[in-house]
Each structure stands twice: as C-alpha cells, then as structure tokens.
Amino acid sequence: MRINKFLASCGIASRRKVEEYILDGRITVNGQVTTNLSTDILESDVVLFDGKPVKNREEFEYYMLNKPVGYISSAQDDRNRKTVVSLIKTNARIYPVGRLDFNSEGLLLLTNDGELTNKLTHPKHNIGKTYIVKINSNITDRELNLVRNGVTIDGYKLHPCKIKVLDGSENYTRFEITIFEGRNREIRKMFEVIKKQVVYLKRIKIENLRLGNLKTGEYRKLSKAEIEYLKNL
C-alpha cells in the first residue's frame, strides 16, 4: 500500500495532509526518513510519525457538528484559539473534513477516516456544498452572473456555481449558493471581486446530507446510512 494511503487509513490525517507530513520529513520507515510519496508500505514495516509508532487504524468515527462562529477548523492551533475538535467528546484522533473559516458557521464533518476525507475535499470529486450567504448590499444581474459563471481569485478561475437569490433590499442580499471546489475562503473572495462583503455565511448541506435542526455548537454521530451515502458519492 502506498505510504500516503497507509497513513490516511491509520487515521493520521487526510491523504493530502499526510503527503505534507511526508514531504516535511516527519515519517520514518524502518528507521529511515522517507520523503518519497511512492514508497510502498509492507506489513512488516515499522512506520513512525514524529517518532511515534503508527498503529493499524483505530475504529473510524464520523460526526456532524453545527460549527459556531469563533472556532477554527483544526485539531490544534499554535495561537491557542478554540478548535472545532475541542467540541467533540471522543478519544479518537479526529479532524475536520475540509474547513469553515473562523467567522463562518454550520455543517462541518469530523472523522478519523482519511480516505473519506480525501474523497469529500479533493476538487476532482466535485462534491457540492451549499451555504446560506448574506452580503451587505444589493446586487445587479450582471454582478450575479459574474459570480455564478466563475470569477478569478488568487490567479485561479473558479468553476461555475449555483446561486439562488432568497431575498434582499438596498442594504442586503441573501442567497443560497452551492460550490464544488471548496478553496480557502472561496465564497468570501468571490464577492470581494465584485466589491461586496459577506456578512453571514452558514453551510447547510453537503450534497444531500443536511444540517437539519442541529443547534449551534451541538454535534451527533452520523448514521450508518449517512456514512454509506457519503462513501458512495
């Protein structure tokens, strides 16, 4: 098994994240640091992460959290900010599936299943994530179409997204928006291109998995049916 897949299956992190760990020289195989992403791991190999043995995967756990504003989407933070993982009572080494930024709220999945995390977060899988978004002004049809058809942020042209205007006035507009890439602060940057400020952002579903009536700061385990649904996307 390739080293990145092995580490992800052991619950270290998502496949993309463990590739960073490998390239940073944090993984040793049989006493030797390896930075080769093509390394194959055999059953007899001794693998260490930051000097600690990597054990065969623990039982996978899957949670849905209604993330509050004021928490970062991480397992730990070097600036001592509150993390979403601190809201979940478990001994498993879970981490968030993707991110919601500090000032955003809503549906966030957490798990120790690296394979599922990779599937739900890698842009090539085109997983739709839907948000309620409010900006601080009205919007013209031309501006709306610019955003809908994919603006360029950080030198990258975004894929088209789905936008439905829910309501608005001269002072605000509220939308339901579905994006398929999930780049860092993507929705906020989309509106910055047309000189609009996002003042509220809440994720309400991932494909057909909905937040429902889960209260802010609360979490629950995913059902077997929900887990299978996500794995089969």
Give the end-to-end CA distance of the chain in Å, rounded to a whole number: 23
Task: Please pick, among 50, 77, 101, 113, the residue that the annotation labels catalytic.
Answer: 101
Domains 62-123+209-231 and 128-206 equal at CATH topology level? yes
pLDDT class of 130 with cuts at 50, 70, 90:
very high
Q: Is residue 154 among the annotated active site residues?
A: no
Domain 3-53 has CATH 3.10.290.10: yes
Cβ neighbourhood burial of 178 (10 Å; 0-12, 13-18, 19+): middle
Over 80: is that where the pLDDT of 83 sits?
A: yes
The answer to whether the CB of 158 falls within 8 A of the CB of 194 is: no
Residue 44 has a pLDDT of: 84
Domain definitions of the chain by residue range: 3-53, 62-123+209-231, 128-206
Indicate the CATH number of 62-123+209-231 among 3.40.50.1980, 3.30.70.360, 3.40.50.410, 3.30.70.580.
3.30.70.580
Q: Which helix (H) or strand (E) holds 28?
A: strand 27-29
| pLDDT of amino acid 59 | 83
Separation CA 144–CA 164 (nearest Å) = 10
| CATH class name, domain 128-206 | alpha beta
For 4-40, write each residue's pLDDT tens digit. Answer: 989 988 888 888 899 999 999 999 999 999 999 999 9
